[in-house]
Each structure stands twice: as structure tokens, then as C-alpha cells.
Structure 1
């Protein structure tokens, strides 16, 4: 494990007002419509962004824009989220299979794979099982296994996942909350300082919350993905290759792990364990940041990712000069 190296800020595009979400289109995967947003950069290396539980491809708007000169970006709405069709299953395996299918069908591999929270644990699985599809791996507050529910705001809802038709209960509860209130609660849980969210991003969060309340399958997707995540946490306590920790130890690609020390959703102590488990890792801890560093401090995250890409490029040059 090494400390992350930040590229110089002037390697990024100049700052400015928030841009709107990037345009997107649907991709057909096994008869299912999966929505993706693109930040094209012809000739650049491909990158794929994978959002967290309850999120969408919009979570990557700022970071994808900053990295566009360096990578050709694609941000996916996982099945059941954003504008993607619902899925039959929302297990970790099913979501990882979707990511693999997307990389293969778009012929983009190997990609710089970047995942946040649930998207981080899904990306760990993809990188471990299909290393041929991954060039580098970046994990932002990855939802890797921990068993103390007191370490997460989500811990209080875990017992309800055992109830029959819990998705209907969740749908009724979400429908009873005004979109403005729901968006504010989500931002409060995810950001260290929700008051710092730009007005445009707040308006987008409200609009997304409104749309979720109108989409019948969202509650099923949310509870299904959370149930799959909890099951992966429990499976990780057993020996064998199916454990997420065993998969992390199998990852061979250069990896960057980023965490906000004010994360209220993922146990911050887990992040250091992730960095120790993956052999070739750089670690970046951010003291005044919450669960979604790519949204809170996108320039810092972009500089760390560029630092990773720069180090990989230098290592590649060194190997080509000294093949022995």
C-alpha cells in the first residue's frame, strides 16, 4: 500500500459553474435497456463509472467532465436505477455481470474502472473475476464487508430486509415524503457538509427524487440491491473464493482507494483494510469529506486518478525500456 499521489491542478480543465448532466443513450444488454451517459474524448483510454446504492450516472457529472481530456468516459445507470430497465435480480453477481456485459458489448475493455459505494464492491468483483477487462481500478468509499450496523446510517434498515414484500413498504414510505425532503435527507447522509451543495446540484437531486417516486420499480431495485449487498457482507465471513475479501486479494491491476473520513454510510475503518488487501494500492483519506468524494471534492479526486494514470504510464515506459 502506498500513499496516493495527486497530479497538479493545472492538468485539469479550469473551474467554472456546474455543468448539466452529460447526454446519454440506451444500450441493449440481453434484452434489457441500460442507460449510459458519455463524456467522449476520441483517442483517449476508456473509463467506466459505476454509481452507488440509490444513485445514478448523474453522480459522476463533475468528475467525468474533469477527466474528459484524459479518458473517454461512460457512466452507467445500474439496472433498476436512473433510466435503466429493472432487472430480475439485484445480487452483487447480477450487477457485476451487467458491468461485464456493458464493457464487452461496447468493446471498450480494458477500462479504467471507477466505482463508488455499491459500485465499488461491484467493481471489486469485476476486477477480480475479469482482469482482462480492467486497466486500473478506483474505489471511492467502497461498500466492502463490515458487520457492525452501528457504523452506518443504513444499519437501522437492515432488519427490515427480512420482511416479505419489503419493497412495497419502502415504496409507500418514499411516496409519502416530498421530493425536496427526500433529496435533502439523501444529501445529508452522503455529504459531510450538505449546505455546500451547489443550488444546481440540489435542484437536480430534487428532480431525481421526484422521478424515483414515479418509477414503480425503484423501491424493488433499491431493496433488492441492498439485500444483495448485505448477503455479500455475510458471505465474506466464510472461507472460499466467493468472499469479497478473497476477491480483493486476487486483484492485480493498479488500484486507487479513496475515502472521506466523515463517511456516515460505510465504516471508514474498512477502507484501510481494502487498501491492505489489494496488492498494488494507493490510498487517499480526505478529512472533511463524506461518502461521495467524487461529488464533494471532484477536483481532488480527479487529481488522484490522474496521479494513478501517470504512475501506470511511467511504469509501462520503464518496463518497455527494460523488458528483462
Structure 2
């Protein structure tokens, strides 16, 4: 039987994906957002791994993979898709936060035969703004979330470095998922923080409306890092959605 494994890696075309895995059952894959890391899911993994095999990724340029150059949205999606093929993961629940949700939509479009469920948490796929304006929203986005999580946000951002953060932000603002949304076939749950100051809830509602059959859920007191601000509500929404699909 599979147990807990840590600090594994997968390389493809010169890029490295780092990941940990724990639990048993159909796979759940967690993809962090901009300036994030696998540590951002620590309040979610225990609940999700009770019934699933949970893979927690560190994108190139972040977390355990921080010594690399960050990839663009579509290159990161290509790497994750190749990793899914490498492990031959099927019946995947792909959960992405912010930039990770943006990437996850591309992965679901590339591997519909592998991704059965898609969970988008405050995903950036429809965000359109100038880079400096997004930067201006960052202090408010941090302060509307869980204050005790601020040191982790700052530490992971510092480890990633300003160049990786700039490259990733510039690329996500240039990339739109609008055209691929109607073709997504995975059962989709869209979860948003009602106090998200970085990616407004109006974009979450628009995202859910554009994906066939998608469900939209909003957690009123949560901010942008919704799975940290309200982990109990977030975990319950995900697990209930998964049970409904069995």
C-alpha cells in the first residue's frame, strides 16, 4: 500500500515539478497560486487525505522548486499534464488556487480523460488588469485574509524572488481561458472568498457561468487565500462535491 512520500520530483524538458503525496484512494492534486507553495494547503491535506491520495505540488520557481525559473501558465500546464501521464493518474480531482486554478483549467483542457473533477479557488483565469494595478491590490488582499498567515505569504514570496513573481504575474495577465471554458468536461466547483480583493467574486461568478454545469460557492468572510482563511468550509464544500459525484 502507498504511504506518505515527500520531496519527489518529475523532470520534463528541463523543468522540475516537486511534490509530496499522502493518503489512499482516487487522486487529488493540489496546485498553489502565485508566490505560494505546497505549505499553503496544510489545513486541507489532513481532511482530503482521509478518503483520497493527495498530491501537493510545488510549481517550478516556488516552494521546494524555488531555485528554478518560473514557467508561464501554459508551460506549467504542459508540465503537470506530462506528470499526470508519467504517473498514469486517472479519475483526478484537480484543485487549483489563484494562478494554480488558472493553470489547472489548461490542464483539464489538455487531459480530459484524466481530470474528472476541477475545483477552482479564486482562480485568476479571467483577471485582466495592468501589472501595477494588480500590485496595488496586494496589501489589501493580504489584510483581508487570515492575519496569522501573513508571515508565510511573505516568506514564500521572498524565497521565490521578485523576478519569478514578476514573470508569473505578467504571464497570467496575458493569458485568457475564456475560449477553453465552454469545452471543459470535468465536473467543476468554483469556490471564492467573499472578501477577495485581488480577484473579485464577480470574476468567480463569471467563470462558473462560462463552464458547463459548474457550481459556484462563496464563503463570505474569506479573502483571496480562501482555503487558508476558511479551511473547514472549504474542505466540506470539496468533500461534499466529491461525494455527490460518486
Q: Which TM-score bucket, shorter chain as reference?
A: 0.7 to 0.9
- Show structure 2 runs of 5+ residues with no match: none
1:47–1:113 Cα contact (<8 Å) kept: yes
- Show structure 1 runs of 5+ residues with no match: 1-21, 158-184, 237-243, 314-324
Higher helix share: 1
The correspondence of residues 83-98 of structure 1 with structure 2, limited to 5 A, is: 83-84=64-65, 86-87=67-68, 90-98=71-79
Structure with greater Cα Rg: 1
In the TM superposition, what whole-angstrom CA distance separates every residue of 1:228-256 from its partner, at most 9, and x where no partner exists? 10111xxx4xxxxxxx1111111111100
In the TM superposition, what whole-angstrom CA distance separates every residue of 1:263-302 from its partner, at most 9, and x where no partner exists? 0111221111111111021110111110011111111111
Q: CA RMSD in A?
A: 2.6
Give the drift of 1:146.
3.5
User: 1:262/1:86 Cα in 2 relative to 1: closer, same or farther (>3 Å)?
Assistant: same
Instruction: Confirm whether residue 224 of structure 1 aligns to residue 167 of structure 2.
Output: yes
Q: 2:112 aligns with which of 110, 115, 131?
A: 131
**Which gives a bigger RCO, structure 1 or 2 (Cα 8 Å, sep 6+)?**
1
TM-score (norm 2): 0.88
Q: 1:117 aligns with which of 98, 103, 106?
A: 98
Q: 2:58 aligns with which of 56, 77, 80?
A: 77
User: Matches of 2:5 and 2:216 in 1, distance apart?
Assistant: 32
In the TM superposition, what whole-angstrom CA distance separates every residue of 1:27-56 from its partner, at most 9, and x where no partner exists? 131254432122x223x1101000000000
User: Matches of 1:89 and 1:83 in 2, distance apart?
Assistant: 12
User: 1:202/1:191 Cα in 2 relative to 1: closer, same or farther (>3 Å)?
Assistant: closer
The aligned residue for residue 207 of structure 2 is 274
1:191–1:291 Cα contact (<8 Å) kept: no
2:60–2:69 Cα contact (<8 Å) kept: no
1:41–1:73 Cα contact (<8 Å) kept: yes
The aligned residue for residue 125 of structure 2 is 144
User: 1:299/1:277 Cα in 2 relative to 1: closer, same or farther (>3 Å)?
Assistant: same
The aligned residue for residue 26 of structure 1 is 8
User: Matches of 2:157 and 2:97 in 1, distance apart?
Assistant: 20
User: Matches of 2:186 and 2:16 in 1, distance apart?
Assistant: 30
In the TM superposition, what whole-angstrom CA distance separates every residue of 1:202-223 from its partner, at most 9, and x where no partner exists? 66x17x71x754x5x6322211
